[in-house]
Structure 1
């Protein structure tokens, strides 16, 4: 059997021979495990009252301010960005992102029934939460999905108003942290910033365009 036929056979089975393509099974396990790990990261942050950037940060703010379920808020806050995602990144990416966010929203609501933490220092919660979110996002990125719409909005603004996407994302996260002062203590904001820094450094080191391709 030629290498081409062998590769074709593998691509129709459990895994793909092309590193830039995935089978349905690969995508399914990637989305499931990425969502599970990310939800665990949110759980650690939530246990010590921390928050993070992006739409998850907005969901945490509303959760702490009004006592509404974080999982529900996380799903609702991301709804306005799906249309923009569909227009900019296509149906496949948008659908996978919708599934990933839905999974995270559900898992964050049920995992407290299976996991109980008696004590967790905010610094350790920020470190573990940031790392787990990084691992979860990395898995989702690898399978062309994400967990939020702010990045998509940042790309849109960059293309239409010539403002760098990174600056847009940074400005949004700063606004989230400023709003946090009205909801949580200064100490919690500081630890939350630590968690966000850990997350972004992890992604900056490990998420490279020549290794992990979100959209081709």
Structure 2
């Protein structure tokens, strides 16, 4: 009971930190990678909120997660996606200070990196690329930080058209910081013991 409560607390803190990081990027016209970046780009082109778009973009990955990682992990991940979507939309009522874009990228990257690590180390994810990163780390021993960096870099590169080269380049700083922290702040508990123990199929650990 104590372990479940601790895990839930870490997930909630992780979601709040990540949501604040995303909010900080948005108000400085910066973006992120993965499904968060896609939601950010589309939100600037439409009247839809980031939270709603993030939920929609992650639906295909949720279906993939059910097939590859099992129901327990997938449902917990989907719950995290719903929560961060709601928290992020509530963040619209929060006023954050306007600072240097580079400083904003570094701070946001740190918040997102730490927040995502809390969620991943608690046996859940924020969907999208994080599901792929967890799978690749377990299947091919590819560090999840590297997977996140490569995929996020490709997605943010497309933001050059919308935000310009300067803002896209600054956005990459945020991705680099977040990916570094996500790769370094790995739980000492083996992934098979946290995430994959409830999977519908076994992935042998190396």
Tell me the TM-score normalized by structure 1. 0.78
Q: How far 1:117 moved relative to its partner?
A: 2.3
Count of equivalent residues: 192
Q: How far 1:85 moved relative to its partner?
A: 0.7
Match of 1:111 in 2: 91
- Tell me if structure 2 keeps the 8 A contact 1:65–1:183: no
- Tell me if structure 2 keeps the 8 A contact 1:71–1:104: yes
1:134 is matched with which residue: 113, 130, 137? 113
In structure 2, relative to structure 1, the CA distance for the partners of 1:165 and 1:198 (3 Å cut) is closer
- Tell me if structure 1 keeps the 8 A contact 2:24–2:104: yes
Q: How far 1:194 moved relative to its partner?
A: 0.2
Q: How far 1:154 moved relative to its partner?
A: 5.8
In structure 2, relative to structure 1, the CA distance for the partners of 1:65 and 1:32 (3 Å cut) is same
In structure 2, relative to structure 1, the CA distance for the partners of 1:169 and 1:132 (3 Å cut) is closer
Give the Cα–Cα distance (whole angstroms) in 2 for the partners of residues 88 and 165 of structure 1: 19
Give the Cα–Cα distance (whole angstroms) in 2 for the partners of residues 192 and 55 of structure 1: 15
Match of 1:38 in 2: 18
1:185 is paired with a residue whose SS is helix
Match of 1:55 in 2: 35
- Tell me if structure 1 keeps the 8 A contact 2:129–2:148: yes
Q: How far 1:80 moved relative to its partner?
A: 0.4
Structure with larger Rg: 1
Which digits, 9 at most, give the CA deviation of each residue in 1:39-64, with x for residues without a partner? 11111111101111111111111112
- Tell me if structure 1 keeps the 8 A contact 2:152–2:175: no
Match of 1:182 in 2: 161
Stretches of structure 2 that go unaligned for 5 or more consecutive residues are 197-206
Q: How far 1:201 moved relative to its partner?
A: 1.0
- The alignment status of 1:204 with 2:183, answered yes or no, reads yes
Please say which of residues 28-37 and 185-194 is displaced more in the overlay. 28-37
Tell me the TM-score normalized by structure 2. 0.81
Q: How far 1:173 moved relative to its partner?
A: 2.3
- The alignment status of 1:69 with 2:29, answered yes or no, reads no
Give the Cα–Cα distance (whole angstroms) in 1 for the partners of residues 89 and 128 of structure 2: 21
In structure 2, relative to structure 1, the CA distance for the partners of 1:187 and 1:32 (3 Å cut) is same
